[in-house]
């Protein structure tokens, strides 16, 4: 049975305007033609290397890109066109975003206060529950961000989405800095939320982690999703994977023997090859 | 591959860089014309003329005349020229002090850095106008006093900027590599540090001018600066004060506007130069 | 108060005291190096013999080496004796006190006015960045920043005192009235123009700084996140914007003491307002070395108090200083 589509991103492109050394206006294309679908009850992991612009996808959906960003493409939420205005109404109430670092917390506000945010009295009770859930002492609520360790900050950020009780969660690298137990706990939470019919986008550079909880894995490379595959296809021999880059990624996994495909002609590892929607080639011209 | 992701955007019309260059050139030209015109002006143009006293501004006397019948337009141009020259001289001296102290502080660090920091705080510890007065008095007044005073009070900000810039290049990877490769200190300084710091220095220098000019005018206005017989804007405005009550508003209005325009010109040239040097700042 | 905070305050105060001593030394040597001769100024037209002159010089200690003279002067100052003003024929400390009371009204009014107006306009400009409101406020500030204070004073005089005759031409009170008879409304009437002029001096700087700071905060990751959590513009500005620009704004406001003092010298001269600024100019022009030195020292103390206050407020408000860097939990 086909589940209801929660969020659909069609042909998203993001560019940034700036001025080059000749004081000419230029656009830097960070994401081009990215499509993605999230169904209810599903965790979709977006996997790509660090610094490849995955976070921008989250920022684009939340409509919090900087002023000089230019976006293209369309988005739909619950079957309706997701305009920036509609997003501004939905964010925080229907869609929650979990950012990736402590820099996203106001340095001059106590973290308990920040977790509650502008969500009112109900959130205040939930904040205490959230802290308990993620193993934070209640006294942490009175601390300022600079007093938190990396792991504590991450748990505070997770608490913000716990409090919001939204239909959908977009989590940007939610686990680094957490010890394994809490990390697994956090991922279990996402699973639990998904099983309740919510949608989760998990942005990560850790494919192994994604394999643990995600239903679908979108392989992100150089500003686009080269392939979206069911987590199942990453099990066994990986032959279900269509794109050579995904296959190369699959073979490079520890449980699959750490194999790096090499160019038969010049011997360069596939990590340095050029990738596009059709396939991947080594720079030396051999395919 | 990253370059391929940059696309030029057709803005249409004039190339932005050319536009920026044009504005800078126009600003510099205007300032040059004013200073040369004023410096070469025949004093007869603004000599007292008792036939034409207390005249309102008109086509024959653009800025009107004063109680001695001196033409205020030519007197103002001459005063602006004096202001620009003094501003130029004191700003250049001040910026050289900043360049020296800023580099010293960044290169040697430690105690030298602390000492320079203390000097900066010291200079900021007294209101500039009071310090200017003290220096001007100690130097016996006149142009030398003003130039020294303005030069001595204006270096702290630029010193901080230069210190930060030098520190930044010094720690930059390419300079570290050059050092590891065994390149000489002079080579590194000439090849890497100077080209990086010089543009910032230049912008800092130009943005110093308006401050220098305003302080020169202020100290002269108070009677500590240029002698009363010089056609300086400060002198003109101080004189105008005595005649305001008699309704000769133009004596204060036009010379002040002209001074404001000159300081704005310097600001514009400095700001556009900044855009050339650091294109990212072009985005508001 | 915890230990870290005490150490922070201790260090700040020690550093600033050291600065004050250095400033007093420099002022002392500058004034004493001046070609103007204090003895000549003191004697004026009076004819004296060389012996009498030498006697005066000895009594004033002018024949001693500079360092010794500085130490004597410094010692006297510490005991509250700043010498006698040659121009006013009164103890310098008395002149300072009297003139400062008059100046503080002017500076205080201007300080509050420019702080409030500057902050509000800066916030407005920053919140509505890129709109016409911002453009107007920004242009206004940029032009104002390069406008001479005394010229603004002159324009004020022309418009409001000469043409419209709403306000008097100058002074702190009507001419010929004894100090005790001056009413409050008369004082205010005389204060308006100089105070407005002086507040305009600082306003541009405060607007531009506040605007830039607010823009930086509004582009920060934490405001992005707050936005993503559904906070609207008003909530973003009041919950995060103002909170994060408050500290720099306060620092700026106190750091502006220095400019305020300089500006008051100019404003007081334009309006013949009898405060410290007018006295400073008179002292210089009449070679009144003790008074000039007293005013220089006082201005340094004034700036010192401003910076110290800023530092103390910073220490009390900023949690990063107040709570130290402890990690627990």
Q: Is the dihedral of CA C138, C142, C143, C147 positive or negative?
A: positive
pLDDT at position C218 over 70: yes
Q: Is the dihedral of CA B208, B209, B214, B217 positive or negative?
A: positive
Rounded to a whole number of angstroms, the distance from the CA of A15 to the nearest CA of chain B is 9
| Tokens 């920026």, located at residue | B20
> Could you read off the pLDDT of B45-95 as tens digits, one per residue?
777 777 777 777 877 777 777 777 788 888 888 889 998 999 899 999 999
Highest mean pLDDT among A264-273, B12-21, C158-167, C225-234 belongs to C225-234
* pLDDT for the residue C113: 94
Are residues C140 and C234 both part of a single domain? Answer: yes
Task: Judge whether A172 and A141 are in contact, CB under 8 Å.
Answer: no
Which DSSP string corresponds to A173-228? S--TTS-HHHHHHHHHHHHHHHHTT-EEEEEES-HHHHHHH-SEEEEEETTEEEEE
Q: Give the contacts of C259 (CB within 8 A, at least 6 positions apart).
A: B127, B128, C201, C202, C205
Are residues C142 and C39 both part of a single domain? Answer: no
Record the tokens describing residue A5, joined without a space. 């589509």
Interchain CB contact of A21 with B (< 8 Å): yes
The Cα A82–Cα A76 span in angstroms is 5
Chain A CB contacts of C225 below 8 Å: 97, 99, 104-105
> Could you read off the pLDDT of B174-223 as tens digits, one per residue?
777 887 787 777 777 777 788 888 888 998 898 899 889 999 989 988 88
Torsion of CA B87, B91, B93, B96, to 10 degrees: -160
> Could you read off the pLDDT of A47-59 as tens digits, one per residue?
887 767 788 989 9
The Cα C172–Cα C191 span in angstroms is 7
Please, is A96 exposed, middle or buried when counting C-beta atoms within 10 Å of its C-beta (0-12, 13-18, 19+)?
buried
Interchain CB contact of B283 with C (< 8 Å): no
Query: Is the pLDDT higher at C255 or at B4?
Result: C255
The Cα C243–Cα C266 span in angstroms is 35
Look at A81-90, C58-67, C167-176 and tell me which has the smallest mean pLDDT: C167-176
> Could you read off the pLDDT of C277-315 as tens digits, one per residue?
999 999 888 888 889 889 998 999 999 889 888 888 887
Mutation target to probe the C interface, by most C beta carbons within 10 A, among B76, B129, B233 is B129
Q: Tell me the three state secondary structure of residue A138.
A: helix
pLDDT at position B245 over 90: no
Residue of C nearest to A68 (CA): C219
Interchain CB contact of B11 with A (< 8 Å): yes
Chain C CB contacts of B122 below 8 Å: 19, 22-23, 26
> Could you read off the pLDDT of A219-275 as tens digits, one per residue?
888 777 888 888 888 776 666 777 777 777 777 777 766 666 667 667 666 666 666
Rounded to 5 degrees, what angle do the CA atoms C154, C155, C160 make?
A: 105
Give the pLDDT band (50/70/90) at residue C234: very high
| Tokens 């230029």, located at residue | A26
How high does pLDDT run on average in chain C? 84
Task: Judge whether A34 and A9 are in contact, CB under 8 Å.
Answer: yes
Are residues C64 and C26 both part of a single domain? Answer: yes
Q: Which fold has domain A5-94+166-237?
A: Rossmann fold (3.40.50)
* pLDDT for the residue C202: 85
pLDDT at position C327 over 60: no
Q: Tell me the three state secondary structure of residue A230.
A: strand
pLDDT at position B280 over 70: no
Domain ranges, ordered by start, for chain B: 12-40+72-283
Binary contact (B6, A30; C-beta < 8 A): no
Interface of A to C at Cβ within 8 Å reads 59, 62, 64, 66-67, 91-93, 96-97, 99, 101, 103-109, 117-118, 136-137, 139-140, 143-144, 146-149, 152, 160, 164
Q: Which of A19, A22, A27 is closest, CB to CB, to B283?
A: A19
The Cα B90–Cα B216 span in angstroms is 9
* pLDDT for the residue A53: 78
Q: Which long-range contacts (CB under 8 A, 24 or more apart) does A13-17 make?
A: A13/A71, A13/A72, A13/A73, A14/A53, A14/A56, A14/A60, A14/A65, A14/A69, A14/A70, A14/A71, A14/A72, A15/A69, A15/A70, A15/A71, A15/B7, A16/A66, A16/A68, A16/A69, A16/A70, A17/A68, A17/A69, A17/A70, A17/B9, A17/B283
* pLDDT for the residue C223: 94
Question: Running DSSP on this structure, what letter comes out for residue A91?
Answer: B
Chain A CB contacts of B6 below 8 Å: 20, 26-29
Question: Strand A43-47 and strand A25-39: pairing?
Answer: unpaired
Task: Judge whether A48 and A205 are in contact, CB under 8 Å.
Answer: yes
Task: Judge whether B90 and B216 are in contact, CB under 8 Å.
Answer: yes
- Bridge partners of A18? A26
Are residues C199 and C299 both part of a single domain? Answer: yes
Q: Which of C227, C243, C319 is closest, CB to CB, to A64?
A: C227
> Could you read off the pLDDT of C11-26 as tens digits, one per residue?
888 888 888 889 888 9
| Tokens 């912008």, located at residue | B203
Are residues C199 and C275 both part of a single domain? Answer: yes
Please, is C185 exposed, middle or buried when counting C-beta atoms within 10 Å of its C-beta (0-12, 13-18, 19+)?
exposed
User: pTM here?
Assistant: 0.84
- Bridge partners of A275? A280
Strands in A80-149 per DSSP E: 80-81, 95-98
Q: Cα–chain-centroid distance for residue C184?
A: 24
Single out the residue of B150, B134, B151, B145 nearest to residue B230, CA to CA. B145
Are residues C128 and C38 both part of a single domain? Answer: no
> Could you read off the pLDDT of C149-189 as tens digits, one per residue?
889 988 888 888 777 878 777 666 666 666 666 777 777 87
The Cα B88–Cα B96 span in angstroms is 12
Are residues C284 and C170 both part of a single domain? Answer: yes
Interchain CB contact of C271 with B (< 8 Å): no
* pLDDT for the residue C175: 63
Are residues C252 and C123 both part of a single domain? Answer: yes
The Cα A41–Cα A192 span in angstroms is 9
Binary contact (C259, B218; C-beta < 8 A): no
Task: Judge whether A168 and A75 are in contact, CB under 8 Å.
Answer: no
Are residues C215 and C73 both part of a single domain? Answer: no
Q: Answer whether residue C329 is part of any domain.
A: no
The Cα B259–Cα B86 span in angstroms is 14
Which DSSP string corresponds to C166-233? -S-SSSSS-TT--GGG--HHHHHHHHHHHHHHHHHHHHHHHHHHHHHHHHHHHTSHHHHHHHHTT--H
Binary contact (A64, C228; C-beta < 8 A): yes
Mutation target to probe the B interface, by most B beta carbons within 10 A, among A18, A24, A33, A69 is A24
3-state helix, strand, coil in chain C (%, to 5): 75, 0, 20
CA distances from A63 to B200, C134, C216, C238, C258 (A): 36, 23, 19, 21, 44
The full length of chain C comes to 329
Record the tokens describing residue C89, joined without a space. 């024929």
Chain A CB contacts of C239 below 8 Å: 106, 109, 118
Are residues C234 and C301 both part of a single domain? Answer: yes
Task: Judge whether A270 and A249 are in contact, CB under 8 Å.
Answer: no
Phi, psi of A8 (to 5 degrees): -130, 125
Question: Strand A43-47 and strand A199-204: pairing?
Answer: parallel
pLDDT at position C119 over 80: yes
Record the tokens describing residue C222, joined without a space. 């934490």
Are residues C175 and C27 both part of a single domain? Answer: no
* pLDDT for the residue C227: 92
Task: Judge whether C324 and C4 are in contact, CB under 8 Å.
Answer: yes
* pLDDT for the residue A139: 92
Among candidate residues C16, C46, C78, the one where a domain is terminated: C78
The full length of chain A comes to 287
Q: Give the contacts of C231 (CB within 8 A, at least 6 positions apart).
A: A92, A117, A118, C239
Q: Answer whether residue C165 is part of any domain.
A: yes
Are residues C173 and C289 both part of a single domain? Answer: yes
3-state secondary structure labels for all residues of B158-225: HHHHHHHHHHHHHHCHHHHHHHHCCCCHHHHHHHHHHHHHHHHHHHHHHHHHHHHHHHHHHHHHCCCC
The Cα C109–Cα B256 span in angstroms is 26
* pLDDT for the residue C109: 94
Task: Judge whether C217 and C240 are in contact, CB under 8 Å.
Answer: yes
Phi, psi of B248 (to 5 degrees): -85, 70
pLDDT at position A3 over 80: no
Give the mean pLDDT of B230-238.
84
Alpha carbon distance, N-terminus to C-terminus of chain C? 22
Total tally of structural domains belonging to chain C: 2
* pLDDT for the residue A104: 93
Give the pLDDT band (50/70/90) at residue C43: low
Binary contact (C303, B128; C-beta < 8 A): no
pLDDT at position B3 over 50: no
- Bridge partners of B57? none
Mutation target to probe the A interface, by most A beta carbons within 10 A, among B2, B11, B199, B279 is B279
Look at B47-56, B251-260, C75-84 and tell me which has the smallest mean pLDDT: B47-56
Residue of A nearest to C224 (CA): A64
Q: Tell me the three state secondary structure of residue C14.
A: helix
- Bridge partners of A13? A72
pLDDT at position C329 over 50: no
CATH tag, B12-40+72-283: 1.10.3720.10
Query: Model ipTM?
Result: 0.86
Interchain CB contact of B15 with A (< 8 Å): yes
Look at A140-154, A242-256, B80-94, C203-217 and tell me which has the smallest mean pLDDT: A242-256
Give the mean pLDDT of B3-26.
73
Domain ranges, ordered by start, for chain A: 5-94+166-237
Task: Judge whether A59 and A65 are in contact, CB under 8 Å.
Answer: yes
Structural domain for C261, as ranges: 96-323
Task: Judge whether C300 and B126 are in contact, CB under 8 Å.
Answer: yes
The Cα B234–Cα B218 span in angstroms is 6
Q: Give the contacts of A114 (CB within 8 A, at least 6 positions apart).
A: A105, A106, A156, A160
């Amino acid at each position: 049975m086909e589940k209801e589509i929660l969020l659909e991103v069609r042909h998203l492109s993001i560019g940034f305007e700036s001025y080059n050394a000749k004081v000419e206006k230029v656009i830097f294309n960070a994401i081009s033609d990215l499509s993605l679908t999230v169904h209810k009850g599903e965790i979709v992991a977006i996997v790509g290397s660090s610094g490849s612009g995955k976070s921008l996808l989250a920022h684009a959906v939340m409509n919090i890109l900087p002023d000089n960003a230019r976006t293209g493409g369309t988005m739909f939420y619950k079957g309706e066109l997701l305009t920036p205005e509609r997003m501004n109404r939905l964010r925080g109430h229907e869609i929650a975003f979990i950012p990736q670092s402590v820099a996203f917390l106001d340095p001059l506000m106590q973290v308990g206060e920040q977790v509650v945010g502008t969500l009112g009295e109900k959130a205040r009770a939930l904040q205490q529950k959230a802290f308990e859930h993620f193993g934070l002492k209640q006294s942490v609520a009175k601390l300022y961000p600079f007093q938190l360790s990396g792991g504590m900050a991450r748990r505070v950020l997770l608490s913000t989405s716990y409090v919001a009780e939204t239909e959908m969660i977009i989590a940007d690298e939610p686990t680094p800095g957490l010890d394994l137990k809490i990390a697994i706990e956090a991922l279990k939470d996402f699973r639990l939320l998904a099983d309740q019919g919510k949608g989760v986008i998990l942005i990560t550079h850790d494919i192994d982690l994604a394999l643990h909880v995600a239903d679908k894995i979108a392989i992100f490379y150089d500003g686009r999703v080269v392939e979206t595959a069911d987590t199942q296809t990453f099990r066994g021999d990986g032959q279900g994977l269509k794109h050579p880059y995904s296959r190369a990624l699959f073979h490079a996994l520890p449980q699959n023997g750490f194999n790096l495909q090499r160019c038969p002609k010049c011997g360069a590892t596939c990590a340095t090859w050029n990738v596009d929607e059709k396939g991947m080639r080594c720079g030396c011209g051999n395919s | 591959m990253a370059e391929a992701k940059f696309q030029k955007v057709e803005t249409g019309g004039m190339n932005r860089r050319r536009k920026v260059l044009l504005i800078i050139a126009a600003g510099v030209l205007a300032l040059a014309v004013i200073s040369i015109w004023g410096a070469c002006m025949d004093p007869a143009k603004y000599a007292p003329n008792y036939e034409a006293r207390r005249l309102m501004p008109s086509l024959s006397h653009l800025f009107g005349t004063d109680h001695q019948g001196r033409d205020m337009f030519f007197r103002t141009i001459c005063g602006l020229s004096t202001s620009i020259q003094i501003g130029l001289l004191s700003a250049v001296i001040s910026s050289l002090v900043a360049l020296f102290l800023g580099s010293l502080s960044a290169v040697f660090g430690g105690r030298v850095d602390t000492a320079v920091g203390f000097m900066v705080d010291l200079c900021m510890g007294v209101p500039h106008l009071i310090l200017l007065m003290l220096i001007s008095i100690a130097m016996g007044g006149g142009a030398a006093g003003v130039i020294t005073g303005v030069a001595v009070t204006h270096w702290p900000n630029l010193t901080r900027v230069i210190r930060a810039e030098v520190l930044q290049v010094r720690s930059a990877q390419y300079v570290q590599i050059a050092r590891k490769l065994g390149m000489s200190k002079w080579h590194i300084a000439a090849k890497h540090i100077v080209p990086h710091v010089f543009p910032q220095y230049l912008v800092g220098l130009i943005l110093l001018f308006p401050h220098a000019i305003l302080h020169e005018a202020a100290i002269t206005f108070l009677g500590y600066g240029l002698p009363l017989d010089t056609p300086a804007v400060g002198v003109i405005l101080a004189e105008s004060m005595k005649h305001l009550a008699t309704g000769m508003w133009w004596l204060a209005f036009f010379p002040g506007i002209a001074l404001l325009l000159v300081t704005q010109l310097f600001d514009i040239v400095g700001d556009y130069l900044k855009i050339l040097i650091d294109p990212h700042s072009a985005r508001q | 108060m915890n230990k870290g905070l005490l150490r922070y305050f201790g260090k700040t105060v020690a550093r600033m005291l050291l600065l004050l001593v250095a400033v007093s030394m420099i002022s002392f040597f500058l004034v004493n190096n001046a070609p103007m001769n204090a003895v000549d100024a003191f004697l004026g037209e009076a004819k004296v013999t060389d012996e009498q002159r030498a006697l005066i010089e000895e009594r004033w200690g002018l024949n001693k080496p500079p360092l010794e003279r500085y130490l004597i002067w410094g010692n006297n100052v510490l005991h509250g004796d700043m010498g006698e003003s040659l121009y006013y024929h009164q103890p310098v400390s008395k002149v300072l006190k009297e003139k400062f009371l008059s100046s503080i009204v002017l500076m205080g009014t201007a300080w509050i006015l420019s702080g409030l107006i500057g902050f509000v306009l800066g916030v407005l400009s920053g919140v509505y960045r890129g709109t016409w409101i911002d453009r107007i406020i920004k242009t206004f500030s940029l032009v104002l920043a390069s406008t001479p204070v005394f010229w603004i004073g002159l324009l004020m005089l022309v418009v409001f005192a000469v043409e419209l005759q709403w306000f008097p031409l100058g002074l702190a009170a009507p001419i010929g009235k004894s100090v005790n008879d001056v009413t409050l409304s008369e004082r205010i009437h005389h204060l308006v123009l100089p105070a407005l002029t002086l507040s305009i001096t600082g306003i541009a700087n405060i607007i531009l700084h506040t605007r830039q700071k607010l823009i930086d905060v509004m582009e920060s990751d934490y405001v992005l996140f707050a936005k993503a959590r559904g906070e609207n513009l008003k909530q973003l500005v009041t919950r995060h914007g103002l909170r994060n620009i408050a500290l720099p704004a306060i620092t700026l406001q106190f750091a502006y003491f220095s400019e305020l003092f300089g500006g008051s010298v100019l404003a007081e001269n334009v309006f013949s307002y009898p405060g410290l600024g007018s006295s400073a100019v008179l002292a210089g022009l009449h070679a009144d070395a003790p008074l000039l030195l007293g005013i220089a020292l006082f201005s340094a103390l004034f700036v010192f108090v401003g910076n110290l206050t800023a530092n103390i407020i910073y220490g009390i408000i900023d949690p990063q200083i107040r709570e130290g860097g402890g990690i627990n939990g």
